[in-house]
């Protein structure tokens, strides 16, 4: 793991290394191993030089014997938990046949690199994604979205080396735009952030991501990841679709705002840390619409710690969700998407006195952050209104909106194209045969 981490950081894999138990870095731990090995550390820093080295890759397969398949599956799950490979929920055995089937969902070769996953620095390959997806009960047609999501998660803009290891309870949010969302039964409507037997794709894709974060990246609670609480969203992250059918005529889809052509299949990935339901929201009249936006303002401006701590010109403070009925009501009352974002940006500014009262936060705030303070000293949640992310999703009625705030520590969200394989039509036909029409 140490060698892999060195490689991920750009150093030679044979660089001078000294591995210490991860428990040594916990508060109040015994630092004796550091004191006993200080001379070896100094020697490594002053005397080491690189040497040519051939690196080979091997892949071991597990064989589990049992009287029947259910017993073998149970033994596999117990073995995975003992080795800290499982997530506490039952896993489907990733047999060679199952993984081979999942791989029919992409034209990429199994060894294709999707990124490096901290803190271990191990390589995320298409094959690794297929194995993880197989273990969650996923299907081949989910692979294109999972691949794009993994490319986003490991992108330097998302700072996975911090997102993976932080004490902040971060989960990954993935918003899918384009026809692919409906084609794979990814939910954009009622219950889009949670379980839905009619729309199983999001749970499988998000959980596969989490398994790779843990099993490939080594983000095991208490060692590779120090998230204080973790949170229920970390079991399967949050993978959902934009309700493009519910968009008002004058509102652009998220994919277009992110620089892609209308109708493109795009996965937008962000690191999030909290989620808040905003109740009694409507937009039937101009006054009621303004009340709804003011409720957003109160929630969004209340918790700004992660927003300001890792601020940049590209920062997006979170994802604001509105259902189609409220979006259409806002539009009918003169609120374009840009106007809504500008209102939220302007009215969520935090007074300088409030920020200064949080001494640690103010001291850690970057010069970039302070440069965007207004003439009255108030700090905006983002560099400008265009940095606010507003997505139409959820049920078809009014009543509730949703806010998911950024966690530690992305520079900015990342959007990736979703590449469909040549056999896409056949995969969808098979899905309809297996799952029924939708």
pLDDT digits (tens, 9 = 90+) for 204-236: 999 999 999 999 999 999 989 999 999 999 999
Looking at the DSSP bridge assignments, the partners of residue 416 are: 267
Say what angle helices 286-300 and 337-347 make with each other, to 10 degrees. 50
Q: What pLDDT score does 304 carry? A: 84
Averaged pLDDT, 270-286: 96
Q: What pLDDT score does 31 carry? A: 83
Predicted confidence (pLDDT) at residue 66 exceeds the cutoff of 80: yes
The structure's pTM equals 0.88
pLDDT-derived band at 36 (thresholds 50, 70, 90) equals: confident
Averaged pLDDT, 281-293: 97
CA distances from 379 to 273, 315, 348, 349, 353 (A): 21, 13, 9, 5, 10
More confident residue, 322 or 368: 322
Kindly report the average pLDDT of the chain as a whole number. 91
Predicted confidence (pLDDT) at residue 75 exceeds the cutoff of 50: yes
Q: What pLDDT score does 211 carry? A: 98
Averaged pLDDT, 372-398: 92
Predicted confidence (pLDDT) at residue 85 exceeds the cutoff of 70: yes
pLDDT-derived band at 8 (thresholds 50, 70, 90) equals: very low
Encoding tokens for residue 123?
């390589």
Averaged pLDDT, 31-37: 82
pLDDT-derived band at 1 (thresholds 50, 70, 90) equals: very low
Name 236's Cβ contacts closer than 8 Å, sequence gap at least 6.
202, 203, 206, 207, 210
- In angstroms, rounded to a whole number, what is the distance separating the alpha carbons of residues 165 and 222? 10
pLDDT digits (tens, 9 = 90+) for 116-169: 999 999 999 999 999 999 999 999 999 999 999 999 999 999 999 999 999 999
Pairing of strands 122-125, 113-117: antiparallel
Contact assessment for residue 141 and residue 435, using Cβ atoms and an 8 Å cutoff: no
Q: What pLDDT score does 84 carry? A: 95
Encoding tokens for residue 20?
């210490």
Q: What pLDDT score does 308 carry? A: 85
What DSSP character marks residue 153?
H
Predicted confidence (pLDDT) at residue 4 exceeds the cutoff of 70: no
Q: What percent of the chain has pLDDT over 90?
A: 76
Look at 157-161, 229-233, 352-356, 397-401 and tell me which has the smallest mean pLDDT. Answer: 352-356
Look at 238-252, 299-313, 342-356 and tell me which has the smallest mean pLDDT. Answer: 299-313
* Element housing 173 (H / E): strand 171-177
Contact assessment for residue 103 and residue 130, using Cβ atoms and an 8 Å cutoff: yes
More confident residue, 403 or 45: 403
Q: HSE on the CB side for 151, CA within 13 Å?
A: 18
pLDDT-derived band at 384 (thresholds 50, 70, 90) equals: very high
Averaged pLDDT, 98-118: 97
Q: What percent of the chain has pLDDT over 70?
A: 92
Q: Which residue, chain included where needed, has tokens 């002053």?
A: 46
pLDDT digits (tens, 9 = 90+) for 297-347: 999 998 888 888 878 899 999 999 999 999 999 999 999 999 999 999 999
């Amino acid at each position: 793991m140490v060698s892999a981490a060195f490689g991920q950081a750009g150093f030679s894999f044979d660089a001078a290394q000294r591995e210490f138990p991860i428990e040594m870095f916990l508060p109040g731990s015994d630092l004796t191993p550091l004191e006993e090995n200080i001379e070896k550390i100094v020697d490594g820093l002053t005397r080491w030089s690189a040497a040519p080295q051939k690196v080979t890759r091997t892949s071991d397969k597990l064989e589990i014997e049992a009287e029947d398949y259910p017993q073998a599956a149970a033994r596999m799950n117990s073995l995975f938990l003992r080795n800290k490979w499982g997530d506490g929920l039952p896993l489907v055995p990733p047999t060679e046949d199952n993984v081979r089937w999942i791989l029919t969902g992409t034209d990429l070769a199994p060894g294709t690199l999707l990124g490096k996953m901290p803190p271990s620095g191990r390589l995320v390959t298409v094959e690794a994604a297929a194995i993880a997806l197989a273990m969650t009960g996923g299907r081949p047609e989910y692979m294109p979205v999972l691949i794009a999501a993994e490319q986003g998660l490991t992108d330097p803009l998302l700072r996975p080396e911090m997102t993976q290891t932080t004490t902040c309870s971060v989960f990954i949010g993935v918003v899918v735009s384009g026809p692919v969302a409906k084609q794979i039964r990814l939910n954009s409507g009622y219950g889009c952030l949670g379980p839905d037997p009619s729309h199983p794709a999001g749970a499988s894709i998000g959980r596969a991501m989490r398994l790779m974060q843990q099993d490939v990246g080594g983000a095991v609670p208490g060692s590779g990841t120090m998230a204080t609480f973790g949170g229920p969203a970390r079991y399967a992250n949050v993978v959902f679709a934009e309700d493009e059918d519910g968009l008002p005529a004058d509102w652009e889809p998220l994919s277009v705002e992110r620089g892609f052509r209308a109708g493109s299949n795009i996965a937008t990935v962000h690191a999030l840390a909290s989620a808040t339901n905003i109740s009694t929201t409507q937009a039937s009249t101009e006054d009621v619409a303004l009340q709804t936006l003011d409720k957003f303002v109160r929630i969004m401006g209340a918790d700004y710690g992660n927003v300001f701590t890792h601020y940049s010109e590209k920062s997006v403070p979170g994802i604001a969700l509105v259902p189609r009925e409220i979006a259409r009501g806002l539009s009918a009352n003169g609120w374009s998407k840009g106007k809504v974002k500008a209102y939220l940006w302007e009215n969520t500014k935090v007074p300088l006195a409030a920020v200064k009262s949080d001494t640690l936060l103010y001291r850690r705030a970057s010069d970039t952050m302070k440069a965007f303070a207004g003439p009255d000293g108030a700090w905006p949640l983002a560099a400008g209104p265009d940095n606010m992310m507003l997505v139409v999703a959820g049920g078809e009625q009014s009543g509730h909106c949703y806010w998911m705030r950024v966690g530690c520590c992305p520079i900015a969200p990342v959007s990736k194209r979703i590449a469909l394989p040549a056999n896409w039509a056949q995969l969808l036909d098979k899905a309809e045969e297996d799952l029924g029409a939708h």
